[in-house]
Structure 1
Amino acid sequence: MCEIGKRLWRFTGGISVLLLLGSGMPTGAQVILRKKPEAPAERREEPKRKPRVEALVTYGEAMRAAMRGDYMRALELFRKVAALDPTAPQPHVAMAELYYQLQKYAEARREAELALELDPKEIGAHRLLGRLLREEALAERNREKARRAVEAFRRVVAEDDLDVEAWQSLAQLYAFLEDTEGLKEALERWTGNDPTADEAFYRLALIYFDRRQYRQAAENAARALMNQPESEYAILLAKSLLYQGHTTEALQTYREALERDPSNSELRINYAEALIFSGKYDEAIEILQRILTEQPRNLEALRLTAQAHRRAGRRAEAIETLRGALRQSPPDEGLNVRFVLAQTYEEIGQVDEAIATYEEILKVLLAPDGTAPERHREAVETVLTNMALAYRHAGRREEAFRLFERMRRVLGEKNPQADLLIVDTFREERNFEAMLAHAQEAAARYPEERRFRLLQAQALGRLGRVDEALRLLDGLLTGLGEDIEVLSTKALVLSDAERYAEAEAVVREALQRDPRNNGLLIQLSLVQERLGRFAEAEATLRQVLERDADNATALNNLGYYLAERGERLEEALELIRRAVNIEPNNGAFLDSLGWVYFQMGNLDEAERYLEQAVLYQPRDATIHEHLGDLHQRRGRLEQALHAYERALQLATESRERERIQQKLEKLRQAMGRK
């Protein structure tokens, strides 16, 4: 139950009553009377009390009756008060409260409406009507009554922002109306007024999690868990930490929850997922196998078993596990399993099989007219994005662009995903003029989508229009948490312009706002490496890996830094192998693997992975330079020459161009060419 609040009932003649109502019931009254001078002797005895004074006295009797639980007597006395002072709304509110407690809802509504006729601003009456409308709306699934209940409770909080019951009710109503912004506001006010409201913190965390705002999700889930050690709160907290890359903390959260609830299958499955993210594949598989012994058809356990095999590089085992899972389930139950199977096909180069599997998922998700129903829109967007990228990674550009057009039809013109992918494709192709033009055009069509402005700034920077890019980015700063993305892009533009000291300052400014952001730390390490501070760059990456042991980018970059300097090559090889197992189609990671093999003198393996890398990223200067080094080492000078020339065409950094130019000149001299 909730505290109803305080009301001041003023009578004419300077008399006031402070009516305190708790738990929806009158619980007491305080009467304050100014002492009047004694009347002359001849006027001391009046035949009867004045009506308003009698109303005050009767009101006190009614309150005492209510406190004793004698509701019928209290109602009788409140009716008398209303008759004695027909202009006062408070006795009607008090009767409405009593009728509500007695579940006489028609009478409660009548008294509340009478109170509002007397005083349209009477909070207690609005609260009572809000309660009645709320209960009717939820019982009848009546959206119109829900909106009227919202209006009533909005009047309450407009007068008393600390009213917890009103914010609770608004949260319930906004959830029913599927008004996420209203729900978020109500939950924030509820938790702000009641720091013990574990359910409200949890529901607020869910909203942030669905929006992929994992830091805020983790903060609210932690508050929920602190108030009440529920397993579902622990799972949400751990997932929020995991998706921020804080794997170590996620694992600790799961372990503590499992100590409290060791038989909870959902906890065990999610713990196994965290182990996979931390690179502990065999330990995860062991836990999952125990679950599958108890529940052989648990599709999530089967999916995660396959994921563990995938990340360990055992893709044949992953495919076998996934196919076995699908044989046991109808098409509409194994969508997540099919999704992982499609990804695995793509990773082993079976693009057509991957596309066919994605299409099987779409058959279940799409409406008969081929569009995406609202409830499946996000899932459909993810599947179509993966299909387009599968074509793009395979070098099948025309099919990728046909997929982008299909996305527009399926998702609708208001969805920006197709345009984001088109702009990103131009970026991958280093066609920065086209990237800029499409980003500008898309930004005009989607003014609320800031990502197009960020991509526009990147393109401007690549085209040498750095100051213009920086002005654009500075104009996007708001002073809020969303500035981190803007600052990260600004640092990227400065790095591309080889203004590394300025880039470092911007990254550190962003890190002051979010010190645990792994993406920013990786960006900082890149700047440190460019500034020649290799030990600092290595330390920064190891800081990331302490929290997120399976962060593929951190694994690759650290391994590459070691390989580039010819240091600890065995450790470098292990780090890069892990990165490639996680993202086997990442051209940069494959290049790193080829390069570490080159540094170790294993030229066959070096050539194998460098040739794969250039297929995925044909416009990467570093990969072509490494191929040139490999061809030259193997005596294939003509091929080395072509590789270096291509690398020089693609190189953007001055020191990179200078290094490649020196290699070209030496090779030409060795070949007797100018």
Structure 2
Amino acid sequence: MNKYISLISISLILSACQSLAPENNSPANDTDPLPLTQTSSTVTKTTDFSTDTLISLLTAEIAGQRDRFDIASKNYSQQAQITGDPGVAERAFRIAEYLGEEQRALDNALAWANAAPDSLEAQRSAAIQLAQAQRYEEAMQYMEKVLIAQGDTQFDFLALSAAQSDQKNIRALLQSFDHLLIKYPQNQQLVFSKAILLSQDDRKADALTLLEKQSKKNATAATILLRARLLSQLGRGEEALPLLRRALEDNPEDGRLRITYARQFIELNRFEEGRAEFIELLQQSPSDDDLRFSLALINMDLKAWREAQAYLEELILRGSHINAAQYNLGQVYEELNDTEQALNAYSAVFVGNNYLPAQQRIITLLLNDGRLRESATHFNEQRSARPDVAIQLHLIEAEALASNGHTQTAWVRINQALQDHPNNPSLLYTRAMVADKRDDLPQFEHDLRLIIEDDPNNAMALNALGYTLADRTDRLEEARQLIEQAHELEPYDAAITDSLGWVYYRLGDLATAERLLREAFDAFPDAEVAAHLGEVLWQQNKQREARQVWNQALANQPNDAVLLETIQRLTNKD
């Protein structure tokens, strides 16, 4: 149920933390993109520069004024290392940071921090650059200097940068935090940062316990947001609601708390309450189209189609989330049984992640309406307009035609596609599937073997060929070898495990077949897997258990042809 939440930053916790970036590292104005004549720190000593240094720095200043920042960066960086002057080092750092020169920025930040040990900004800058270079323990040393000097500081950026690192770095940094917490056990930033690291180390319960041990009196919004998220991740989302509610009573204007509170209702499938909170949020921030889109999707979950339609149409009028809004509007019109409006909405999706799903819906609607010729015209036009996704459009068209009973037309279309894109593996695979529907086993095998010849590790093709040989021929040993190979490549793929179970059933090894099919059904309780497992159980006189498996699958897929055929065939013999 998180499809609309993704539009609202999942990093609300992070936004509760203040940035440690220096204030003076952005362009001063539009005409002076890099003010080379200023530094933000006060130089506390006067340095007598050599003639070579003065010439180099003057050259850097002139180069900067002429937009040759590469020369400015090179010269300043060289002189920062040569002179050890804090002003030069800071300027070198600012230029390198502006240009995105990571190594130079790090070297110059360290030079600045070492040259200006009393500058807290220099120590922070060095710590940030070290953290970005994944040198976390060194970064901690610089941050401890800031902590000693001012009695408090923020360590969360270290934890957040390390969160994307490997477990070794995370655990090393945890040890560093533990050492500092011995000295500063009441420092909330250290506690908060350690909790972030614990959560990234798959120790969410430990992270939550750590936060809950802290005084509730001085809990920050960031701490509360992290606690709520941990509760939700631990399956205790209901406990997050009163925590957030109390925080909102104390801070009613805090948008981060309110949006997390609203999201929590959605995660708990309490859509009515979530909708009420989102409506209040939108009233507070009427220009926030992310909230407006979330409300549209919440109303869709509540089957409040007209309300959803209103929000989506408003987004389109506002020129916001246009393609996503049009796609969802198409779904709304489908629910309202307005095919033409649905087609118009889907046709208005031109780019983005919703473009291909929109094409799938268009051909389904057209074929359901008997408009076969119109669907052909539409897809020819789309391939001309979007040659970058022509193969995907061929696949959508052919698969939809085959699935809707137009097997011969699908056969013609997929062969046309292969004329334009010879030996494309996706098109070959789809042609094989269409050939299977036409009972053309030689063509089916021919196309899959072409794929395997080009890519011997194509598990999908290996499995498809092996399963069909096991299901429809007596070439069982050959089938087993193909499926075993696929299984070695994808040992956790339930479809392949199902195929392997089925071939062992066909070979007469019922015990192995049952074990594999149970494994597949536990991972993916699909109707076809249920049909296979039920048949193996039935053949072992476990009829009662077979019926339980079938009934479980029928509850979700009551019209599956394979399952119904299996039940009919076996129970008629009973």
TM-score by length of 2: 0.49
Whichever of the two has the greater Rg, that structure is 1
TM-score relative to the length of structure 1: 0.43
